[in-house]
Amino acid sequence: MRRFTLLCTLLLLICSLILGSASVSAKPGTSNKISAQKCHQGGYATLARTEDRYTAFTSETACTSYAAMGGTLVPFVAGPRVEAAFSPSDGSWCTAAFTGFNNPDTQYIEVRLTLSESGLRIITFPGSGFALTDSFAAGETVTAISAEIVGGVAIPVTTTPALPFACIA
């Protein structure tokens, strides 16, 4: 009988150790759950992955999934970008207005504008917050645009209206 009691006590001790370790391993999931809750109610748009803080999540699902799988969420940091707006002017020429955002002041941005008749035009802007206007002749069509930080790092460009833009006299 004494052996039976000792065996039962030993068995209960082993079971409590196993159950105790299972509850400890569940706790890290709780912090992932709390982290994933930051993605709700539009929060995903202000968050990014640690591997790429310049790209915000595009959906709540992507953000929640990343956090639930153990990924660390960080605040989204807006990277450099250029906005270009094209408009007709007095009939003999058109205007291209460029605005740069979130570029470190010590770096230059190079915008490459491809025109149907005169070819490639390169415009270089200093630092961040620039706003510059350029013009081109009627009859030209803007077929492509790209931008990069001088040194080869491409940055996104948004255009209004969408390309191609034809400058009609």
For the segment 137-148, what is each residue's pLDDT rounded down to a tens digit? 999 999 999 998
Among residues of the chain, what percentage have pLDDT more than 70?
78
Give φ, ψ of 28 to 5 degrees.
-60, -35
Domain count, the chain: 2
Contacts of 124-129 with CB under 8 Å at 24 or more apart are 124/150, 125/98, 125/100, 127/100, 127/103, 128/80, 128/100, 128/101, 128/102, 128/103, 128/104, 129/100, 129/101
Confidence check: pLDDT of 18 > 70: no
Please, which pLDDT band fits residue 89 given cuts at 50, 70 and 90?
A: confident
- CA torsion sign for 159, 160, 162, 166 is negative
Of 34-38, 56-60, 117-121, the poorest mean pLDDT is in: 34-38
Residues 121, 58, single domain; the answer is no
The candidate with the shortest Cα–Cα distance to 153, out of 103, 89, 119, 114, is 103
- Average pLDDT over the chain reads 80
Three-state DSSP at 148 gives strand
Residue 21 lies in a domain: no
The range of the structural domain enclosing residue 106 comes to 81-166
Shared-domain flag, residues 85 and 162: yes
Does residue 99 carry a pLDDT above 90? Answer: no
Question: Does 87 share its domain with 153?
Answer: yes
Can you tell me the mean pLDDT for 9-19? 51
Q: Is the C-alpha dihedral spanning 149, 152, 156, 157 positive or negative?
A: positive
Say if residue 86 is in the same domain as residue 154. Answer: yes
Q: Judge whether 144 and 114 are in contact, CB under 8 Å.
A: yes
| Element housing 105 (H / E) | none
